[in-house]
Amino acid sequence: MKKLFYLLLLPIFFTMGACSSDDSEDNNEGNDPLSHLSEDAKKLVGCWDEGWVFYPDGTCCFIDHNGYEISREYGEWTYDDKTKLLTTTVGSKQYSVSLLSQNSWAGINLGSGSTVSWHRYDIGYAGELISRKQWSGNSNIRISPNTHYTSGTGVYMHELIWGLNGWEKDTAFPKIKDPSEFYEDGEYRSYGGTYYTVQVERCIEVSKASFVTNTSMLLEATIGDDYFWTDEWYGYKTNLSRQTFFTGTILLENMYSDDAKLTIDGNMNGQSFKREYRAIK
């Protein structure tokens, strides 16, 4: 009799197991911020060169490099799989897309009639996501992707370098050395004979970024102090030298969430260093 009872219960157990599996899959899909997008629209999410940024929630940002300044214009975007139209609310920027892959897209700017092409820029995307939040840990830090310098042949916006602020309360970070320790009287003399006051900024420099999952990215990075002088007319920065003291990785997790996490892990002046930060809501 007992044997018959257990046999009758088996179908119920299997049904419960199937329901549990389905619920788990539904929850996983619900937690994926890209799940509501079509396969082609998913390819557009991210940063493209140093211009477009498309987020999975339908918002977007156009980064414009106008001379020595960087401006950002925000709006919304959609992509129609059938018509191949990429529509935004930023100015007159609408595109007829003729090529779309994981790492590039191309088409026609319907506003100007010109052909355009864009390439994926994961470091830029990480910078935009990280800089939109303030991070709490041993100290409250803020990371800004707006630092830019000139190269030897002209102006060049170095979005790979981000300013790091708020680290001062964490004694594991070394103090910044005064510019006078490296430059006489803390000044730099240009070829034209003009003297400029040397300034210093603590920065993160990222050499590589890669997706771990749809919602996490791993960055290879260094942290150091950049010494520079600033043009008094245009305000752009010319880099002089860099004192690097950290080499390692930065892991960005749950990057679209209010509960995003940032982990800095590596070597600080010959010693192991690890810090975990949570986004401040």
Largest CA distance in the chain: 103
CA angle 37, 112, 60 (to 5 degrees): 30
d(CA 201, CA 177): 10
Q: What is the pLDDT of residues 73-89, one digit of tens each?
A: 999 999 999 999 999 99
Mean pLDDT of 162-168: 93
- For residue 239, report the phi and psi dihedrals to the nearest 5 degrees: -75, 135
**219, 250 contact by CB (below 8 A):** yes
* 214 compared with 8, residue with greater pLDDT: 214
pLDDT over 80 at 90, yes or no: yes
CA angle 277, 278, 280 (to 5 degrees): 125
pLDDT band at 145 (very low <50, low <70, confident <90, very high): confident
- pTM equals 0.81
d(CA 239, CA 179): 13
pLDDT at 146: 63
Q: What is the pLDDT of residues 50-66, one digit of tens each?
A: 789 999 999 999 988 76
**95, 24 contact by CB (below 8 A):** no
d(CA 237, CA 227): 10
Task: List strand residue ranges (DSSP E) for 81-132, in order.
Answer: 85-88, 94-100, 104-109, 115-119
* Contacts (Cβ under 8 Å, ≥6 apart) of 258: 279, 281
d(CA 6, CA 224): 67
pLDDT band at 156 (very low <50, low <70, confident <90, very high): very low
Q: What is the pLDDT of residues 248-257, one digit of tens each?
A: 999 999 999 9
Residue 86 structure tokens: 């990429």
d(CA 72, CA 47): 13
Mean pLDDT of 255-266: 95
pLDDT band at 274 (very low <50, low <70, confident <90, very high): very high
**205, 219 contact by CB (below 8 A):** no
pLDDT band at 148 (very low <50, low <70, confident <90, very high): low
d(CA 96, CA 239): 40
CA 174 to chain centre: 25
pLDDT over 90 at 260, yes or no: yes
Mean pLDDT of 184-192: 89
Q: What is the pLDDT of residues 194-221, one digit of tens each?
A: 899 999 999 999 999 999 999 999 999 9
Alpha helices in 38-167 (DSSP H): 39-44, 122-131
pLDDT at 67: 57
Radius of gyration of the chain (CA): 24
pLDDT band at 273 (very low <50, low <70, confident <90, very high): very high
